[in-house]
Structure 1
């Protein structure tokens, strides 16, 4: 699979990029093999799974900031404008928290957003849920779980997107690249929001260049992109930008680094390797 690596920038070019996005009609990706094609499925511009890391490497402050970022983004004027400019003028969204390979929790099931009232209700529903934490980091488990949610969503999106955020590499569950590739082959786009707010802590198996890891090993599909978060005061802005671009079917202003998946810039099994070195060979990464 050959693709370009996209490094999203959060900053002064945001307004120009978003205004251009609003003026364009979102493209349609191929329908995934397991889409909800029931006659009662409601047509929307995007079916969006927000998959949020709650592993122990995410401290409570980061978790609170992460959730607040999505709450603020979902109710922002720019986000609602992006929805209104779509062909159907509505999207479907679900919010999932994940950690290890068997730890995925639907915080909010599929909800329709077609205007400010619906957006406010979605944000309030997410906000009132208790926060939780769990062990290990299985991006592959999160992606596999997120993919199944499209099967009976009740919506038929022109595009289907999994939006995964986290602060570490895959260290348990299936290997991440084969999982990513199988999902992308179904016409689903995977975007990433790697969180790089803390100094590396090898006790929690942090890795350098997590943004590059996400670019090489996690994202994929039509228009896939990564927007890294390096500063706390940029969290809400970065989250809003990512959601807007996903709804508009656009990529961020980016520098495009030609690359081949055959020659990744980082090891896509680095998380699994670190885990085995620390805890032995007993982990199953099939």
Structure 2
């Protein structure tokens, strides 16, 4: 595979029902976007491996869609349909470190070889559960993975408190890492789908 990509998506309580739907719709429409599929097909191998994870506090991570090969429009559409039918939970707290640690295990169990291994973390809050996010990040990077970030910058406080530093700055300093790591900010949940598409094209290309 040109890239093995774990999509790790925040379903903590700060993400309400509408926002969770917008997140899923964002991933569904991005993966099945003809522009994204075209970029996939132009790769050396012409296919990527995708795994879709949802996470909240450090005790909750779930592999929603297992490793799937995406190398054609039909495979992208099938993946998009499967995601629309998967059940969804919402739990308290935000453990980015737990999401990264779980994604590393998912990566280790991938049935494909990948020329690059990328974990894609999206969320709307800072780590407030489990060990520090940068510790998990550093271990993943040491294993040769890249972590990219998609912080969702809405103006609602988490549990009544505004974070000490802006979320995009927090992701820059504590979440992303590895060769060529980057973040793309979604200004709010409505802008999420566009941000996901831009991010996938950049990750795959």
Normalised to the residue count of structure 1, the TM-score between the two structures is: 0.69
Q: Which runs of 4+ in 1 moved over 4 A?
A: none
Measured in 1, the distance between the counterparts of 2:56 and 2:147 equals 17
Q: Using the TM superposition, give the Cα deviation of residue 205 of structure 1 relative to its aligned residue in structure 2, in angstroms.
A: 4.0
Q: Using the TM superposition, give the Cα deviation of residue 232 of structure 1 relative to its aligned residue in structure 2, in angstroms.
A: 4.2
Q: Using the TM superposition, give the Cα deviation of residue 202 of structure 1 relative to its aligned residue in structure 2, in angstroms.
A: 5.0
SS in 2 for 1:155: coil
Against the structure 1 CA distance between its residues 78 and 202, is the aligned structure 2 distance closer, same or farther, given a 3 Å change threshold? closer
Measured in 2, the distance between the counterparts of 1:210 and 1:201 equals 11
Could you list the per-position Cα deviations for residues 211-264 of structure 1 after superposition, in whole angstroms to 9, with x for gaps in the alignment?
A: 01001110000110011111444221111000111111xxxxxxxxxxxxxxxx
**In proportion to residue count, which structure has more helix?**
2
User: Which of 176, 184, 191 is the aligned partner of 1:234?
Assistant: 191
Matched-pair contact (CA < 8 Å) for 1:57–1:204: no
User: Which of 115, 131, 150 is the aligned partner of 1:174?
Assistant: 131
Residue number in structure 2 paired with 1:151: 108
| 1:135 maps to 2:98 | no
User: Which of 105, 110, 115 is the aligned partner of 2:72?
Assistant: 115
Against the structure 1 CA distance between its residues 59 and 187, is the aligned structure 2 distance closer, same or farther, given a 3 Å change threshold? same
Aligned length: 204
Residue number in structure 1 paired with 2:156: 200
| 1:72 maps to 2:24 | no
Measured in 2, the distance between the counterparts of 1:123 and 1:180 equals 28
Q: Using the TM superposition, give the Cα deviation of residue 203 of structure 1 relative to its aligned residue in structure 2, in angstroms.
A: 2.7
Matched-pair contact (CA < 8 Å) for 2:152–2:189: no
Could you list the per-position Cα deviations for residues 110-138 of structure 1 after superposition, in whole angstroms to 9, with x for gaps in the alignment?
A: 00001001001111111111221001100
Residue number in structure 2 paired with 1:87: 44
Q: Using the TM superposition, give the Cα deviation of residue 210 of structure 1 relative to its aligned residue in structure 2, in angstroms.
A: 0.1
Segment drifting more, 200-209 vs 137-146: 200-209
Structure exhibiting the larger radius of gyration computed from Cα positions: 1
SS in 1 for 2:66: strand
Name structure 2 gaps, 5 residues minimum. none
Measured in 2, the distance between the counterparts of 1:214 and 1:174 equals 15
| 1:57 maps to 2:14 | yes
Against the structure 1 CA distance between its residues 137 and 206, is the aligned structure 2 distance closer, same or farther, given a 3 Å change threshold? farther
Measured in 2, the distance between the counterparts of 1:204 and 1:135 equals 14
SS in 1 for 2:119: strand
Measured in 1, the distance between the counterparts of 2:134 and 2:64 equals 26
